[in-house]
């Protein structure tokens, strides 16, 4: 049977099945003319799909639930290849993928020349692309729709919406002297948008890699990450640091990436959750970080002011003792802001020491200390993030913290694998108890960075 187009539709909605420990959803759907029932359960990670009657097991191998309304082919590479062929009437020249990321520890340190410790997650943007003889870009996102533009349309502030990330990546590569021409490109992503897992960097990195392979350009992942970052900074206009693009480009499976954001020297540090019997859960609060822009700029200014008063090039160059000794000079607020940055840098290095010593199970308290510092000293948490952290710890988590810029987005919890269901249940109940929208909880695994799939 010919595979149906990716968006098979849910026809009768969903029903919670209530199996303890699982967020079960029953989908009634039809794929083409074939009706069926599909049970999918978020098993603390990848959504598993099982057919409960009618259609047979081969469908469950081919399909995954992207949402309660949309089925997708299990293999996103196959999905974008088919979508590309249907939309553009030819085969793509290649297929590329780039992951989102979670930052294990090292928050608000990147613009202070400090240390960060992200991992690539097993959620990614997958693109199929082929060159064109002219300068047109025809872009198809299976999640967001279609856009068409020409290369000469691209410039700072000129490309609205999601196309800016893709077009910006091509523009940025062209700024390196690469003769970039037109492109047909189809993409799909299972990186949650706006949850602090950097769907934007995944999109930029997948596009940079595809365009580089098709039109030429540098081979070094660090260089490619800077090209992707420039797209976000200059074309989209978001003043983000280099962490997200470096993680998406340079991580390798089973590791976290220790990145010195001053020198851009990156080191792979083993992070084998399975061997330690642990799981890393993302708790997506569903709260958008709308407040974040102004506060982010304000925190950056505060750090620059503190560094000036301490007479160091950046807070990276100050110690906890320096900051304590300058408490009066800094004043109450700058003192707390600077204390977060210097203690957070120290926590990153201490986490790395423990990981290198094979003590993954001993990093939990450092993650929790990071949260407390972000909540009390840096003041970028939110009630939902605090609730997620407190409930995860109560449920047996070894450590938990907000991740990303703050004011919303996601928290991370490190827990024994056997406690994943309990953490999910107790966090969900705590949210309900406080009248918050139900969070989405899922496990992430340290995955490989951007690469060509076909």
Judged by beta carbon, residue 124 or residue 336, the one nearer ligand ADP is 124
Q: How far is the CB of 409 from ligand ADP (least distance, A)?
A: 7
Which of 244, 284, 317, 328 does the annotation list as catalytic? 244
Judged by beta carbon, residue 83 or residue 203, the one nearer Mg ion is 203
The one segment of 7-15, 128-136, 198-206, 389-397 that binds Mg ion by CB under 5 A: 198-206
424 is a contact residue toward Mg ion (CB under 5 A): no
Q: What spatial distance separates the first Cα and last Cα of the chain, rounded to whole Å? A: 24
Q: Strand 183-189 and strand 136-141: pairing?
A: parallel
172 is a contact residue toward Mg ion (CB under 5 A): no
For 397-409, give one letter per residue: b (16+ CB within 10 A) or e: bbbbbbbbbbbbb
Q: What does the alpha-carbon distance between residue 449 and residue 358 come to, in Å, rounded to a whole number?
A: 23
φ/ψ of 8, rounded to 5, equals -70, 140
Judged by beta carbon, residue 198 or residue 233, the one nearer ligand ADP is 198
Report the residue from 60, 189, 200, 261 that binds Mg ion according to the rule CB under 5 A. Answer: 200
Helix (H, G, I), strand (E, B) or coil at 412: strand
Q: Assess contact for 171 and 233: CB atoms under 8 A.
A: no
Residue nearest to Mg ion (CB): 200
Q: Taking the alpha carbons of 142, 147, 150, 154 in that order, is the dihedral positive or negative?
A: negative
Tokens of 365: 């308290």
Residue 213 known to be catalytic: no
Q: Assess contact for 446 and 253: CB atoms under 8 A.
A: yes
Judged by beta carbon, residue 200 or residue 370, the one nearer Mg ion is 200
C-beta atoms surrounding 383 within 10 Å: 11
Choose among ligand ADP, Mg ion, none what residue 178 binds, the Cβ cut-off being 5 to 8 Å by kind.
none
Q: How far is the CB of 198 from Mg ion (least distance, A)?
A: 5
Q: Taking the alpha carbons of 46, 14, 193, 410 in that order, is the dihedral positive or negative?
A: negative
Choose among ligand ADP, Mg ion, none what residue 194 binds, the Cβ cut-off being 5 to 8 Å by kind.
ligand ADP
Judged by beta carbon, residue 41 or residue 407, the one nearer ligand ADP is 407
Q: How far is the CB of 142 from ligand ADP (least distance, A)?
A: 7
Q: How far is the CB of 74 from Mg ion (least distance, A)?
A: 26
Q: Which residues bind ligand ADP (CB under 6 A)?
A: 141, 143-144, 161-162, 165, 189, 193-200, 203
């Amino acid at each position: 049977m010919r595979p149906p187009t990716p968006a098979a539709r849910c026809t009768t909605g969903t029903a919670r099945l209530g199996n303890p420990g699982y967020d079960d959803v029953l989908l009634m759907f039809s794929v083409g003319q074939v009706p069926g029932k599909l049970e999918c359960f978020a098993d603390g990670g990848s959504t598993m799909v099982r057919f409960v009657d009618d259609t047979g097991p081969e469908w469950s191998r081919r399909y995954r639930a992207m949402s309660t309304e949309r089925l997708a082919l299990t293999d996103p590479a196959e999905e974008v290849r088919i979508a590309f062929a249907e939309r553009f009437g030819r085969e793509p020249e290649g297929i590329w993928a780039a992951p989102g990321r979670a930052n294990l520890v090292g928050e608000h340190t990147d613009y202070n020349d400090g240390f960060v410790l992200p991992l690539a997650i097993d959620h990614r943007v997958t693109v199929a692309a082929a060159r064109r003889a002219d300068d047109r870009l025809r872009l198809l996102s299976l999640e967001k729709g279609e856009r068409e533009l020409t290369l000469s349309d691209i410039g700072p502030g000129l490309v609205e919406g999601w196309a800016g990330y893709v077009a910006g990546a091509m523009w940025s590569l062209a700024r390196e002297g690469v003769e970039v021409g037109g492109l047909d490109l189809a993409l799909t992503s299972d990186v949650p948008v706006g949850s602090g897992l950097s769907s934007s960097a995944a999109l930029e990195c997948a596009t940079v890699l595809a365009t580089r392979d098709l039109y030429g350009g540098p081979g070094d992942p660090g260089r490619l990450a800077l090209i992707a970052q420039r797209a976000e900074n200059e074309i989209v206009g978001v003043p983000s640091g280099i962490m997200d693009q470096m993680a998406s480009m340079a991580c390798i499976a089973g590791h976290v990436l220790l990145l010195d954001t001053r020198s851009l020297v990156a080191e792979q540090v083993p992070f084998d959750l399975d061997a330690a019997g642990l799981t890393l859960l993302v708790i997506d609060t569903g709260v958008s970080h709308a407040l974040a822009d102004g506060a982010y700029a304000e925190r950056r200014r505060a750090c620059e002011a503190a560094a000036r008063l301490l007479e160091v090039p950046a807070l990276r160059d100050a110690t906890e003792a320096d900051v304590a000794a300058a408490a009066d000079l800094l004043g109450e607020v700058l003192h707390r802001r600077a204390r977060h940055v210097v203690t957070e840098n120290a926590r990153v290095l201490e986490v790395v020491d423990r990981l290198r010593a094979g003590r993954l199970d001993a990093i939990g308290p450092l993650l929790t200390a990071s949260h407390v510092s972000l909540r009390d000293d840096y003041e970028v948490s939110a009630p939902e993030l605090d609730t997620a952290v407190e409930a995860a710890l109560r449920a047996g988590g070894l450590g938990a913290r907000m991740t990303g810029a703050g004011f919303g987005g996601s928290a991370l919890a490190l827990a024994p694998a056997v406690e994943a269901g309990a953490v999910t249940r107790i966090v969900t109940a705590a949210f309900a108890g406080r009248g918050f929208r139900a969070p989405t909880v899922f496990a992430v695994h340290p995955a490989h960075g951007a690469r060509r799939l076909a």
